[in-house]
Structures are given as structure tokens and as C-alpha cells.
Chain A
């Protein structure tokens, strides 16, 4: 297994826009890094650049002591990179049996037939496919196909395993099981893994580290806990867990914290560097940290109810607070005819960002 270092990777679309814009990553040997982001954020392109399936314009990619790509010398072709890859569609070759699919990379590496047999049996056991070897891909279920694809990518002990949304074609129940299974397998084999997904749950539950990507750039890099607990940008906050965004203004600042006014209420927040008195700020609040207030006091925000939905065991209100639309859960029903709502906020559970044009757009959503 080897360490992966990607520096200043740039790759453009045909129309000139940047698909990957100055991306740098480093991943210690044996660890699991997840590239997380919405579709079109550049995560798959980055993965393909590492695999050699796409050629970046500039940057370097190193794997262990080998340089896979650099701007001056170009890249070595995918077949020479010694990477294992699992595709979203699994990409099993329909004309070959499971055994022949798994044998293919070994044949290319000139492994003698006897040894091949042993290694195929080993890897088939690891992915729990021992009895399926003579079947053809179309005779397998989705989960089985996914495991064949994994076996095929692992059988030649690649230096790195690249997984491109491998669970997205499974149904919800199977996906949950596969998550746990895949995660455990990776820990056991300690293979350096880059995992691409748009599913935050997969990212949070399986990764050693997550890189959240947006518009070709890395928005934030950290452990699942860091990413969830302390999103670096409103985008990350929005993408990881549903967040409500409230508009506020800094009234005073005292060292690391200060008073922020949100609508008609005031709260004490920890303020990041660079946020000063008079600045407009954006407060990202997890759904759980915004509640219908039991009673009015000075720390209650008042808003106007736009829509109310009965959810069975609770109510969900869509309200307008200081120019932003937010969703608020409440256990009690607010009677019809009352069109104002009182909301309480837990500042410790919120993240606060300085507001600029770009972010206000997102907040107004």
C-alpha cells in the first residue's frame, strides 16, 4: 500500500470551464478518503485523473514513490498505474464468467494459472462469493455484482483502491449492509482507498477523512467529526446535514465572541477571525438546534408562518425570519389564525460565517 499525494490538479471541460480547479490532497497509506460533493463538483473527474482515465492539464499525482502524472512529463497510462477501481455500474464484462472477470488482471500480469486459481479463491472468500465463480454477471444480483467488481479490483493487490459511487445502484436496505461490510473489509485489508460519493451518510460512516468538493475545488478537508461539527463554509454546512440559514448582524465583539442580532433577538456567539462589529453574518443551524419556543423571552426569534405541515407525530413549519426561509420542527400545534411563530436557538450548535454576495444567495434559498 502506498501514500497518495495530489498537488495542484487542474482539469478543464471542453468548453474551458474548470472541472477540477487546483485540487491538492494527501492520503496516508492504508487510510480511507472520501471525495464528497454534488454531481458536477469534480469528484469523479479527480478520481479518473488518479486512475489515469482522464488526463489533467497540470498538477502532479504521486502514489508511493512513483509519479503517476506531472505537468512536464505527462501521465503514465492507466494500465501501468497499478490501481484497483470499482465503477458505479460495476463494469463487469458480460461475456466472461465471474472467475474469468477476476482472473483477467492476473492474466495480464502473467501470473501462472495455478497461482491464479489460488488467489481467485482467496479473494472470492473475502468477498463471500465462493460459490458464484462459474456464473455470468447477468445471473447475479446487484449486491453480488458489486462484490465481484470489488474482488476484481482487489485480486492483484493494487497500491490503491478507487471506488466510484459503488453503492449507488443498490437498494436502500442492501446499501446499509454493504456500507458496514465494505468499511470493515477496508480496515482489515488496510488498502489505501479513495471513495467518491454524493451521499453524506456513506461519507460520514465509512471514511477516515472527507474532502468536500464544490465547483472543482475542495471546500473543506477533515475527519467526519470535523466536517459535521465545524463546517468551514456555508456550502459544507448545507451539504452535510440539512441546515437552516439565518441572517444576522454583529452588534459587538469581545475577543473570541460577540453579540449577534437575529431578527428581533440577540445571541452570544463564538465569532471566527475577521468578523467585526457591523458585519452581516450567516448562521447555519442544524434542524435540531431551531425549535418552536415554549414561551416568549428576549432570546426568542419571531417569524411569520408561511406554511404548516402535519407530519403525524410532529409539525413542520415553514417560516420567514429576517428575510430567510427556515424549516422548524415543533411538537405542539400552533393554532390556525396565529401566523407568527416564536423560535429558540442554541448558539453552541450553530456555525457562523461572514456573509458575502455568493453566500447570501444560498442562504436565501
Chain B
């Protein structure tokens, strides 16, 4: 091996020269794509916030008066206050519910805890839109149980609409997030702490309260922040449950203002800018609190078989309470939704069996606009989700595994969309597509929605891929580089094959999210690009509860199928 093979060496150099440009082109391409994706919805909004007229006019005056008007508007402060109450309510109630349920199912010997925990987390797989419909079907003013309670039994009824109902449904919808965080924190925590406390003579409840709960503190504070942000973002719950009582949050303010005659675009843009700044601050705080961007990723660690706390005589009473809890919050609403989808009307006055019908489903599949929304959703989730997963993989590779000078800004940028509520993404992209010549092609096809959804969920996918890439030792790519592979060659032949399971997990996560996403679509969709969520909303506005229920059931079936298939066949676990 002492004689050098000059031919091979020069061959290597030729390859290197040929591909020398490919690496920076790819890396900067990914950076540029991310910048465009993240910034394009925001720029039009920033621009509009300084313009007196709607931004599509020709005669534009730059002004600060939008901000001035916003700051003196009482209505705006009312909206902020309601948004705060709603978000804080969701954060506190959902975290309390999630933590309590996690302690009971992970740390105690409560009978049926496995099933209870599973049912408790179902709402995270349905969308909050569907959950809101389900609740109204059963507990709304005309809901089956409400009507039975009030009209048939003649007892005083409750009012699901308004702030309290919103907080209750929102908390049910988002309680799975604190539940997952607390579950993993509890599973990883050393059970000897609790045993030690019991040896010291602490009672069971005291042990739970004094020892177990404090272990959860990081998971709790993280959950509080995440669900606070979720509360600001969510559109469906305040729209469906708040609007009828005039309870208006920031999301519904944007939604209704833009749907109005002569909308005040300037005010909408200003309010959006302020909320963006506020959200960005919140998310920075979130990072401060927990150090990094694990917004969607559960804490990892070694799972131990925890020693369960013996509840003793409390076992059955607690189990019964928990069953009632998940039945009332989750099982009955979803059962009601399923029932509603199969009848002409769900009312205590006539037996549902006499008005059984397939019409609701027939209507969904026969009216091409409705049927198309299902195919569009599947197309966007399947194709758009795949491209989004690819882009996210590219971002993670450049940010974590390259020497590109922009890798740090890229990491920040890729997490920024967490701070952008879906409604703002929709409005901003609509304006961008409409204002910039040539971009209309995006709006008139599902590509526009794919772009919007991708922008929304890049942090989710990045958060899912980054840990699996992090688990691959950096020496593996260094070895490939010194062996003669370019950065791209290393990525293609070493990193991508190794990170494939993480990529698949991210893809499935994106598929499910895209299938349920609608907030960024409400302003963006045009005839031909309807998705399930927008069709659900427009059917709801028309009061077509039957088709709404049918389409919601179809969505739940699709999501469940994807979750089950990916669990059984691919071994990919969502969330927890």
C-alpha cells in the first residue's frame, strides 16, 4: 500500500469539483425556503398595519393611526381580556386535569387505569372543532342531554355557550398534553422517593401531594405555557361556543372582522402584530423555562416499571369517579356525534330509531364540494405532509449537522411559527398570494394550503426529527466526510438512512395534523381546495348538524385508522 494510486486520487478530486457547489446550494436553498415560508405570511400583515386603506387599493397612505386607534379602542382591551381569561383558564384547568389523571393512572393501582388513560387522551386525536361539535350535540342548548334534562325532566338547564363552556371544552381538548408530559415525568421519576416518604410515615394522599406532585413541576410549568399559547391560537372553540354569547377572543375577532362588510384591515393587522409580539415573548419565556424547543416532543428517558401506590379502600370510589369523568367529557359527546350522524334529528321528542338515515353520509359523498374536501385533506396530508417532513429534515440537517454559518438563525426561524396563530398565517398568506403577481397559482390549487400548513407545523416536525438525529453520533458523519463524502453525500448515504424512523414518525405526525388543520385554511381556500375543516365549518354555519356529524365521524375514522396502522405496522408511537 505504499504506492499511491494517482488515478484514484484525481478521480476523487474531479468528483469533489463537480459537487463542490451542490452542498452550499442545497444548504442555502433550505435556508432560503424556510425564510420565505416563515416570513411571507408576516410581511403583508406588517405592511398593512402601517397603511390606512385596505392593502389591495392603489391609493395607499402610510400611517401610524391604526396603532393609535387600536390602543384607544375599548373593544380591543375587552378582547384581550377575554382572550387572557380563556387561555389562562384552559392552561390551568387542562393542566390540573392532565396532571391528576396522570398521577392516578401511572402511580396508583386504580382499577381500569389503562382504559381510563386511553379514553382521556382521545380528544388530542380528534380536532378541537370536532370536539366542540360533539359537545354541542350532547350538552349544547339544543343538545340531546340538555333537552332531556330541561324539557323532558323540567330541571333547570345549563348554558354551554360562553366563557365557562369554552374553558371546559378547551381543557378537555388540550388535557392530553399535560397528561403526556406528566406521564413521562412520572414514569421516569425514581419510585424510591415515594417509598422513602411512606417509610417515613407519610400517608398515601400526603405522599401524592408532597412528593409526587413536586416531581412534576417542570412538566406542569411547560404544560401551562403550551396550553396558554394553544388557547390564544384556537379558533374553533370560541367561534362555535363564544360567538353566540358575544364572547370574542382574538382569533374570533380576526375571523369575524375579516368576514364583515368593509373590514378594518388596518386594525386587524395591528392587532395581529401585537399578538405576534406577545406570542413570541411567551415562547421565549417557554424556552427560558425549559431550555429548548420540545414543544411537541415528550421528555425522553428510561422507563421504569413504577411501584404503584396502593389506594386501599379508595380504589373503587376513585375508579368510579374517573369513569364518570371520562364518560361525561369524552365518551358521551363522541357517542352523541356518532348517533347524530345516523339520524335526521337527535331529540328526546322522537325515538332516534324511527328517524335513522344514511342521508347525512350520502350527502357528504354525493355533493362533490363536500366529498372533494375529504380527498383534498387526504391529498394535502399525504403529499404536503411528505414535503413538509422533507423540508423539516433538511432544516434539522443544516441546523444540527452542518457548518453553515446560518445554522443558528435557521434553528430559531424554524421554531418561530409556534408564535404565529393559524388565522394570521391564513390572512397573511392570502394577502401575499393576492398581492404578489404570479403567486395566484398557489391560491387556486391545494399547493397554497400545503404551504400554509407546512409553515404552521414545521416546528412540530423539526421537534420530532431533531431527537432522532441527535441520537446519531456526530462521528458517523465526520467519518463519512474524511472517507471522501461531501456533505450531501454524507446526508444521503449515512444520515438519511439512519434517521429514517424519526422521519417516518414526523411524517405521520404531520399527516395527522394536516388532516385536522383548518384555522389557516378558512381564509385561503377557494372552490376546489376545500378541506374537511372548512367544510365542517361552513356546514355548521348553515345549521346542517347531520352532515357535520357525518363528516366529523369520517375524520375521526381516518385519524384513528392512521394512528392504528402506524402503531401496529410501523411501531411508531404518537405523542406519548
Contacts and interface: CB of A to CB of B under 8 A. Distances in A.
Direct contact between A and B in the complex (CB less than 8 angstroms)?
yes
A77 B481 contact: yes
A93 interface: yes
A191 B4 CA distance: 11
A79 B2 contact: no
Interface in B356-413: 403
A361 interface: no
Contacts of B4: 1, 157, 159
A157 B481 contact: no
* Most A CB within 10 A of own CB, among B1, B15, B489, B498: B1
B11 interface: yes
Contacts of A1: 2, 4
B484 A94 contact: no
A68 to B, nearest CB: 12
B2 A190 contact: yes
Interface in B475-503: 475-476, 478-487, 489, 493-494, 497-498
* Most B CB within 10 A of own CB, among A79, A92, A93: A79
A146 interface: no
B121 to A, nearest CB: 33
Interface stretch (A50-58, A247-255, A281-289): A50-58
Interface in A135-170: 149, 152-154, 156-157, 159, 162
Given A79-B484, A108-B484, A156-B8, A87 B15 contact: no
Contact of A51 (B11, B16, B480, B482): B482
A85 interface: yes
A17 interface: no
Interface SS of B by simple majority? helix
A89 interface: yes
A156 B487 CA distance: 19
Contacts of A224: none
B335 interface: no
Task: Give the contact-size bracket for chain A.
Answer: 35 or more
A157 B5 contact: yes
A114 to B, nearest CB: 14
Interface string B2-45: 10110011011101100010000000000000000000000000
A108 B5 contact: no
Interface residues of B, number: 31
Interface string A53-67: 101000000000000
Given A79-B486, A95-B498, A156-B8, A108 B475 contact: no
A89 B472 CA distance: 12
A109 B479 contact: no
A126 to B, nearest CB: 8
B473 interface: yes
B391 to A, nearest CB: 23
B485 A104 contact: yes
A105 B403 contact: no
Contact of B1 (A105, A149, A154): A154
A55 B416 CA distance: 30
B9 A53 contact: no
Contacts of A357: none
Contacts of A51: 478, 482
B482 A162 contact: yes
* Most A CB within 10 A of own CB, among B1, B483, B485: B483
Contacts of B498: 93-95
Contacts of A149: 479
Contacts of B1: 154, 157, 189, 191
Nearest to B473: A89
Contacts of B403: 55
Contacts of A55: 403
A94 B471 CA distance: 12
A91 B473 CA distance: 8
Interface string A211-249: 000000000000000000000000000000000000000
Interface in A79-126: 79-85, 87-89, 91-95, 104-105, 108-111
Contacts of A82: 9, 12, 484
A78 interface: yes
A172 to B, nearest CB: 23
Contacts of A190: 2
Contacts of A104: 480, 483, 485, 493
Contact of B485 (A52, A84, A85, A108): A108
Interface string B494-523: 100110000000000000000000000000
Nearest to B403: A55
A299 B518 CA distance: 92
A80 B16 contact: yes
B481 A79 contact: yes
Contacts of B5: 157
Interface in A173-210: 189-191
Contact of A87 (B9, B478, B489, B494): B478
Contacts of B475: 87-89, 91
Nearest to A53: B478
B397 to A, nearest CB: 16
Contacts of B15: 108-110
A156 B482 CA distance: 11
A109 B484 contact: yes
Given A91-B473, A109-B8, A109-B15, A52 B481 contact: yes
Nearest to A83: B482
Given A94-B498, A109-B8, A109-B12, A78 B481 contact: yes
Contacts of B485: 79, 104, 108
B9 A105 contact: no
Contacts of B20: 77
Contacts of A154: 1
B255 to A, nearest CB: 46
A104 B494 CA distance: 10
Contacts of A92: 479
Contacts of B12: 79-80, 82, 108-110
Interface in A253-268: none
Contacts of A77: 16, 20, 481, 486-487
A162 B478 CA distance: 12
A93 to B, nearest CB: 6
Nearest to A87: B475
Contacts of B482: 51-53, 78-79, 81, 83-85, 153, 162
B11 A110 contact: yes
* Most A CB within 10 A of own CB, among B9, B20, B475, B480: B475
B481 A105 contact: no
Contacts of A83: 482
Contacts of B481: 52-53, 77-79
Top 3 nearest A-B pairs (CB, nearest first) are A91-B479, A91-B475, A105-B483
Given A52-B482, A108-B15, A109-B11, 12 more contacts: A51-B482, A53-B478, A79-B481, A88-B475, A89-B475, A93-B479, A93-B480, A104-B485, A110-B8, A157-B4, A157-B5, A157-B8
5 contacts: A78-B481, A83-B482, A85-B478, A104-B485, A152-B483
